[in-house]
C-alpha cells in the first residue's frame, strides 16, 4: 500500500460526513461530475412515484391544493434558503437558470433606475462566466437600453461608475473553479449605487454563501449540481427581502399575481418573493427536488465546506504524486479562500498538440479513457479536465483512485 492510500484510509475513517453517502444511489464508479449532475438521492424514486401515481393519477386536479402543489415553488425555496444563508421567504424555485438570470438582471436595472439613477445605463457582466449568463445579459441590456461591458470579477471594482446599473458575477468560475470574493465585490457594487446579481450554480451546496449576511441583492442558481435535484431540475431566484417590493419582473406571469385565480385583466404583483414566479410550476421536477433536499437534514454547510477543501487538497496532492511532471497544470487556485469545490487541470500544450487524436481534443480523449476506467469527470473545451467533488458522497479513497488512474492514463 502506498503512503497516499494509507492517508486516504485515515481521512475516510475520520470523515464525519462519510455516512451521508448512503443517502445516494451510487456504485463502484468514482463520480466526480456532481458539479454537472448530482447523483440520485435514495428518497427520490419513491417520492416521484407517489407524485405520479397518487397525487396526479388519483387526486388529479385536487392535488393543486391537497398535495401542496401550488405553494411548492416557495416551499422548496425555503428548503434551499439555509444552504445559501438566506432567511425564509426570499427564494422561489422555478424556470431555468437562464430565465432567472433574465428576471434578476432586468429587475436589478429597474431597481437602479428607480432609486434616482435614471442615467444608469451599463451592466457589468463577468467576462469569465458560463456563457448563458453572458448571452442573457446581452438580451437584458438590449431590452433595457443598457450597454453590456464584460469584465473579469477582479476588474469589477475598477469598472464601477455612476452609470453602472447592475453587475452579474459568478460565485465560482465554472471552468477554473475559482471562488470569487462575494462579500467585497457586493460591497463595492453597493458603494457605486448599483445592484449585484450573483450566480450560485457552482457554489450553492458546496460552500457557505451568506446571501443575507453580505447583503446580496439578487441571486440565481441551478439545483442539479451540488443540490442533486435531477437532470434539468428547476432553478431558483433569491430577492433580498427589503428589495421585494421593488422587484419589477420582466416575466409577470399569472403565478406572480397578487390574486392568481381572480383572473383579472390588470396585473398586480404578489407580495414578497412570489412575484418572482412566472407560469404554472413544473410539479414533477419540483417535488423530486424537494425530496432530494432531504439529504441535507442535519448537515451543516460549514462541515461540507471543510470536507470539500480537504478533498480538493488531497486530490491536488495525489495528482502531484501520480501524474508525471509537466503533463497537467491546475487552473484552480491553491488558496482556500479562492477555491470552489472542483479542480480543473489543463493539459500541457505540448501534450495537447502532440497527441491530438484525429480531431478529438487531447483532453477530451483523456476524459473518455478515464470514464472507461470508472473515473467520471468532464471535459471543457479545449484542454481542461474538470473534476467536481461533492462532499456529501465523495470519499478520500475515491480521490486517490481518480488521481492514480489519471496518472496512469497520462503516463
Would strands 164-170 and 122-126 be described as parallel, antiparallel, or unpaired? Answer: parallel
Backbone angles phi, psi at 348, to 5 degrees: -65, 145
Would strands 375-376 and 30-31 be described as parallel, antiparallel, or unpaired? Answer: parallel
Beta-bridged to residue 124, according to DSSP, are 149, 167
130 noted as active-site residue? yes
Indicate whether 127 belongs to the interface with a second copy (CB under 8 A).
yes
Contact present, 172 and 388 (Cβ < 8 Å)? no
Q: How far apart are the first and last CA of the chain?
A: 20
How many of the chain's residues bind a second copy (CB under 8 A)?
82
Sign of the CA dihedral with 154 first, then 157, 162, and 166 last: positive
Q: x/- binding map, residues 18-37, to a second copy, per CB under 8 A?
A: -------x-x---x-x--xx
According to CB under 8 A, which residues from 300 to 359 bind a second copy? none
Q: Which of 2, 57, 82, 184 binds a second copy (CB under 8 A)?
A: 57
Judged by CB, which is closer to a second copy: 111, or 192?
A: 111
According to CB under 8 A, which residues from 35 to 54 bind a second copy? 36-37, 39-40, 44-45, 48-49, 52-53
Judged by CB, which is closer to a second copy: 145, or 324?
A: 145
CB of 151 to a second copy, least distance (A): 12
d(CA 157, CA 181): 11
According to CB under 8 A, which residues from 63 to 92 bind a second copy? 63-64, 69
Q: Which of 165, 105, 160 has its CA nearest to residue 133?
A: 105
The residues, ordered by sequence, that sit 6+ positions from 76 with a Cβ below 8 Å of its Cβ are: 93, 236, 286, 289, 290, 293
Indicate whether 392 belongs to the interface with a second copy (CB under 8 A).
no
Number of H helices, E strands in the chain: 13, 13
386 noted as active-site residue? yes
Contact present, 342 and 202 (Cβ < 8 Å)? yes
DSSP element (H, E) containing 325: none
Indicate whether 123 belongs to the interface with a second copy (CB under 8 A).
no
Contact present, 195 and 70 (Cβ < 8 Å)? no
Q: x/- binding map, residues 252-291, to a second copy, per CB under 8 A?
A: xxxx-x---xxxxx-x----------xxxxxxxxx-x---
According to CB under 8 A, which residues from 195 to 254 bind a second copy? 222, 224, 230-235, 249-254
195 noted as active-site residue? no
Indicate whether 374 belongs to the interface with a second copy (CB under 8 A).
no
Indicate whether 150 belongs to the interface with a second copy (CB under 8 A).
yes
Indicate whether 118 belongs to the interface with a second copy (CB under 8 A).
no
Which of the following is catalytic: 195, 224, 314, 389?
A: 224
Please identify every residue annotated as catalytic: 130, 199, 224-225, 386
Amino acid at each position: 500500500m502506498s503512503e497516499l492510500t494509507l492517508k486516504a484510509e485515515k481521512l475516510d475513517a475520520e470523515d464525519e460526513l462519510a455516512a451521508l453517502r448512503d443517502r445516494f444511489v451510487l456504485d463502484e464508479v468514482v463520480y466526480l461530475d456532481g458539479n454537472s449532475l448530482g447523483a440520485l438521492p435514495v428518497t427520490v424514486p419513491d417520492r416521484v412515484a407517489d407524485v405520479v401515481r397518487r397525487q396526479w393519477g388519483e387526486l388529479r386536479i385536487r392535488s393543486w391544493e391537497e398535495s401542496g402543489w401550488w405553494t411548492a415553488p416557495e416551499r422548496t425555496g425555503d428548503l434551499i434558503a439555509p444552504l445559501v444563508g438566506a432567511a425564509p421567504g426570499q427564494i422561489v424555485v422555478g424556470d431555468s437558470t437562464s430565465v432567472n438570470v433574465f428576471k434578476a438582471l432586468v429587475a436589478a436595472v429597474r431597481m437602479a433606475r428607480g432609486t434616482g439613477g435614471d442615467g444608469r445605463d451599463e451592466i457589468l457582466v463577468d467576462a469569465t462566466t458560463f456563457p448563458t449568463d453572458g448571452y442573457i445579459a446581452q438580451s437584458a441590456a438590449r431590452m433595457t437600453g443598457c450597454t453590456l461591458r464584460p469584465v473579469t470579477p477582479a476588474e469589477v471594482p475598477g469598472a464601477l461608475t455612476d452609470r453602472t446599473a447592475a453587475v452579474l458575477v459568478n460565485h465560482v468560475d465554472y471552468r477554473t473553479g475559482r471562488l470569487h470574493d462575494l462579500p467585497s465585490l457586493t460591497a463595492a457594487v453597493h458603494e457605486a449605487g448599483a445592484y449585484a446579481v450573483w450566480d450560485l450554480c457552482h457554489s450553492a451546496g458546496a460552500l457557505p454563501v451568506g446571501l443575507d449576511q453580505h447583503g446580496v441583492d439578487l441571486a440565481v442558481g441551478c439545483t442539479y449540481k451540488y443540490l442533486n435535484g435531477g437532470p434539468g431540475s428547476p432553478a431558483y431566484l433569491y430577492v433580498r427581502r427589503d428589495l421585494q417590493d421593488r422587484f419589477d419582473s420582466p416575466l409577470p406571469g399569472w403565478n406572480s399575481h397578487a390574486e392568481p385565480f381572480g383572473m383579472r385583466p390588470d396585473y398586480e404583483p404578489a407580495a414578497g418573493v412570489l412575484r418572482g414566479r412566472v407560469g404554472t410550476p413544473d410539479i414533477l421536477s419540483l417535488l423530486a427536488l424537494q425530496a432530494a433536499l432531504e439529504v441535507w437534514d442535519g448537515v451543516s454547510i460549514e462541515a461540507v465546506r471543510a470536507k470539500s477543501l480537504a478533498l480538493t487538497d488531497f486530490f491536488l496532492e495525489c495528482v502531484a504524486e501520480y501524474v508525471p511532471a509537466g503533463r497537467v497544470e491546475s487552473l484552480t487556485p491553491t488558496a482556500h479562500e479562492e477555491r470552489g469545490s472542483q479542480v480543473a487541470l489543463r493539459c500541457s500544450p505540448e501534450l495537447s498538440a502532440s497527441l491530438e487524436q484525429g480531431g478529438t481534443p487531447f483532453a477530451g480523449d483523456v476524459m473518455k479513457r478515464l470514464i472507461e476506467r470508472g473515473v467520471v469527470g468532464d471535459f471543457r473545451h479545449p484542454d481542461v479536465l474538470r473534476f467536481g467533488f461533492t462532499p456529501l458522497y465523495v470519499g478520500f479513497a475515491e480521490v486517490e483512485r481518480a488521481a492514480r488512474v489519471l496518472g496512469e492514463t497520462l503516463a
